Structure 1
Amino acid sequence: MKTYLAAALLGAAALLAGPRAQAQARLETGGQKPMPAPDWIDQATGHQVRRLTPLDGGNASFYFHNNPFLKIASGDEMVIYHTDEQGQQLRLLNLATRRVTPLSEYYKKVSGEIVDARRHDVYYQAGSVVYATNADTHKTRKIYTFPADFPGSISTLNADGTLLAGSLGGAEARDILKKYPAKSDFFNRIYDAKVQHILFTINTKTGKREEIYQENTWLGHVQFSPTDPDLLMYCHEGPWGKVDRIWHISIKTHATKLMHQRTVDGEIAGHEFFSPDGQTIWFDLQQPRSVTFYLAGAPVAGGPEKRYQLQRNEWSIHYNISPDQTLFAGDGGDPGQVAKAPDGEWIYLFRPAGDQFRAERLVSMAHHGYKLEPNVHFSPDGKWVIFRANFEGKEQVYAVEIAKAAS
């Protein structure tokens, strides 16, 4: 299978997981298209930035709460999406060498983006068919084919790798999506329709599908706990100010539990994700909307929430947490986002300080178009923040070092 190399590799000095890189040019990030080299120092922040993917089409990292990483003998690999004139496929990106290797075949569209970090199986969906490809052997097996009368989609894998899960909206909801593809057009319509939605699981060994819950409201953002194979988080989708959004359900008993009850008029909560130890669900909390901003954490077992307050410019579309759970990151936002921040176009690092975050700007995103959400991830060693951006033209995957570059 053909191997693709990232352009202008810099040997040992270019390794993401290795020693600090040698001095790079200080440049305005996105000030040139393309940038003159794949590695530079962001002149606004003093942090080293590097493009991890070659300029051979569009390359995209996963959604913020989906783990893309695999541990291999030589370090870490990251699963990414690649798009070119042939279609779309999944590829493996070696974080140490930036070597990119095709994983799946080309399809018109690939979705699912689920990694079993223990078995090195990567689950994905092409059309109605769910596949798993092993990242070590590159062998692919078919897991399930959705029938025409149940056009579902997968979105998560449980902690022991035995069950996939997803959601399906009724025919009226699907018709709204087809007729009104823009989020600004379909979002309220699907919520107002109160159409039946179903949560389901698929056994990864037998392919058996089981419908575990249904409700006449929009259900989505389905995520399994990273540690408890029985626990599935889901959300009541729709305008955040109208829904008590964050729930979880037991796969065994089908018992449900609301994780955050709104208490302030106009309050919103969302873009939730599990902590690595599965003990906390973190989420964007605004009390009320667009006024006071927090990243809040609800203990899965119950009890008081933990809240860190942010300033308006520090609000981010998505947040994430480091592997050791000591740091957080955010992808910022442009003035058109809910925070209406006049200077929020940055990749941020957040250090907890009492009940607030102490924010550090890592990368200027002034030349990035925020219709593409950057979706930050911490690298497995916790030393870099990885994100996607379009400031060189097409979407690519980048990393910024948390430690400041040598002056």
Structure 2
Amino acid sequence: MRQFRDPRTGRLITQLTDRGNNVHLYFTENSFDLSRPEIIFRSDRASKHERAPHENPHYNLFRLNYHTGEITQLTDEDHPVGSVTKTPDGELIAYLTAGKVKLLDTRTGRISVLYEDEGGYNLYSPSISPNRRYVGFARNERVRAVNTNVNYGGFKESFYQIKDGRITLARTDGSGYFDAYCDTHWLGHFQFSPDDPTLAMFCHEGPWNLVTQRIWLLDLVARRVRPIFRQDEQDSVGHEFWTRDGLIFFDNRGPGHDGTITSEGTQAVVKEPAPSEFRPYVGFVDRDGRLVRRVEMPYYCNHYHANPSNTLLVGDDAECLVLIDISTEQASLEVLCQHGTSWHTQASHCHPTWSWDGKRILYASDQGGRVNLYLLEL
């Protein structure tokens, strides 16, 4: 590890990793351990191959103590580890690899296979229920559109071609799995409610300006869905996640925004947004679909994450991480640091996330050519 001062703000930043590519959990999840000074992350440091972030690095799972710098390898998979989720205390970790959903019990080291696809579907967005009985995930039919993971390649094509998307639940005891919901859209961002194992959220994936209803709440008992935040014609909505108190956060950028950023600093699908008087805002919705808070933004970031009390947001704009105070009616912005990432792949997106106690922010950047992890303490 090394520490340095941000050249723009003077804030002290700790670079946690310095070899290979290192990627923390997606911003809808949380890499931090609830009770120990540790994070869970993916890295190709043990692969014995030097690969750029877009060259399909062979990732495995690791644990890092950000006080001591000690890193422990947790898996040794023959194929790269993809999306990852875990329980807040880090005891159970679910991950995707080679069409399988696997569950690691970090107390015993035991790894079990909960689901194995026969080749017809791609798997996305695993999530562990709060009662730890299920790992839920989205799976979508394989189509001819190839998502290269570089600058959202295949993003629009996948949106139009995928007509069979499913939410599947696998039992953590290994006794089987079942489809809880089937749809005619590309599904993603599956997330169990933080406090109710019978409720989950998912999205209709694709360019935000083309998706007419992004966020859906799934009742896993009744097997019914209902829209969360009903969209109008001008709404372009995305980057939804559950807050600690059980609300659903979303970002609404208005017409002409596809929710992406490329390494050229442009959108991937919308090339020339039409002029609009729409003012971007973020919102908090309850599980009945009521908009309980709307915070107008005179700017927008690529991702947001809320602190435990929903009074602060961390966001990543094109060049910097920013802290946004939303504790009052008018949001105020403070630059935290320059992140220096290229935005070339999903792995190099900053995806800043708060620690469970709201004292630290973890983010990624590929400045220097490889993805590394950085920690900022407030």
Which structure's residues are more often helix, by fraction? 1
2:64 counterpart of 1:64 = no
Structure 1 counterpart of 2:369, from 390, 393, 396:
393
Is the contact made by 2:190 and 2:202 (CA closer than 8 Å) also made in structure 1?
yes
CA distance 1:96–1:248, change in 2 (3 Å):
same
Return the index of the structure with the highest Cα Rg: 1
Rounded to whole Å, the distance in 2 between the matches of 1:356 and 1:269 is 21
Task: Report what 2:309 is aligned to.
Answer: 324
Task: Report what 1:355 is aligned to.
Answer: 329
1:106-136 Cα offsets, whole Å, 9 max, x none, are 4331023111235711111221332222233
Task: Report what 2:231 is aligned to.
Answer: 262
The runs of 5 or more residues in structure 1 that have no matched partner are 1-5, 7-37, 334-344, 403-407
Task: Report what 1:308 is aligned to.
Answer: 295
| Overall identity of the aligned pairs, in % | 23
Question: Which moves more between the two structures, 243-252 or 203-212?
Answer: 203-212
Say which SS state the counterpart of residue 295 (structure 2) adopts. strand
Is the contact made by 2:305 and 2:353 (CA closer than 8 Å) also made in structure 1?
yes
Rounded to whole Å, the distance in 2 between the matches of 1:381 and 1:226 is 16
Is the contact made by 1:230 and 1:251 (CA closer than 8 Å) also made in structure 2?
yes
* Aligned-residue CA RMSD (Å): 2.2
Say which SS state the counterpart of residue 145 (structure 2) adopts. helix
Q: CA deviation at 1:359?
A: 1.0
Structure 2 counterpart of 1:239, from 197, 207, 228:
207
Rounded to whole Å, the distance in 1 between the matches of 2:128 and 2:97 is 17
2:104 counterpart of 1:137 = no
Task: Report what 2:15 is aligned to.
Answer: 51
Rounded to whole Å, the distance in 2 between the matches of 1:119 and 1:395 is 23
Structure 2 counterpart of 1:92, from 63, 68, 71:
63
Q: CA deviation at 1:63?
A: 0.9
Rounded to whole Å, the distance in 1 between the matches of 2:8 and 2:107 is 40
Task: Report what 1:376 is aligned to.
Answer: 352
Is the contact made by 1:154 and 1:164 (CA closer than 8 Å) also made in structure 2?
no
Say which SS state the counterpart of residue 349 (structure 1) adopts. strand
Say which SS state the counterpart of residue 192 (structure 1) adopts. helix
1:75-117 Cα offsets, whole Å, 9 max, x none, are 3211011114443210001122221111111433102311123
Amino acid at match of 2:12: Q
Rounded to whole Å, the distance in 2 between the matches of 1:104 and 1:184 is 28
Task: Report what 1:170 is aligned to.
Answer: 141
Is the contact made by 2:341 and 2:349 (CA closer than 8 Å) also made in structure 1?
no
Matches within 5 A, 1:164-313: 164-171=135-142, 174-177=143-146, 184-193=152-161, 195-242=163-210, 243-263=212-232, 265-278=233-246, 280-289=247-256, 291-312=278-299
1:156-211 Cα offsets, whole Å, 9 max, x none, are 1111111111222224xx32236x76565522223223512122111111341111
If the length of structure 2 is used for normalisation, what is the TM-score? 0.84
CA distance 1:378–1:134, change in 2 (3 Å):
same
How many residues are treated as equivalent by the alignment?
Answer: 344
Matches within 5 A, 1:115-134: 115-118=86-89, 120-134=91-105
Amino acid at match of 2:81: V
Is the contact made by 2:94 and 2:103 (CA closer than 8 Å) also made in structure 1?
yes
1:23-78 Cα offsets, whole Å, 9 max, x none, are xxxxxxxxxxxxxxx1112131121111112x221111111111222245xx3211
Rounded to whole Å, the distance in 2 between the matches of 1:211 and 1:203 is 12
2:329 counterpart of 1:364 = no
Say which SS state the counterpart of residue 188 (structure 1) adopts. helix
Say which SS state the counterpart of residue 188 (structure 2) adopts. strand
Structure 2 counterpart of 1:80, from 28, 38, 41:
41
If the length of structure 1 is used for normalisation, what is the TM-score? 0.78
Say which SS state the counterpart of residue 226 (structure 1) adopts. coil
Amino acid at match of 2:23: A
The runs of 5 or more residues in structure 2 that have no matched partner are 49-57, 258-277
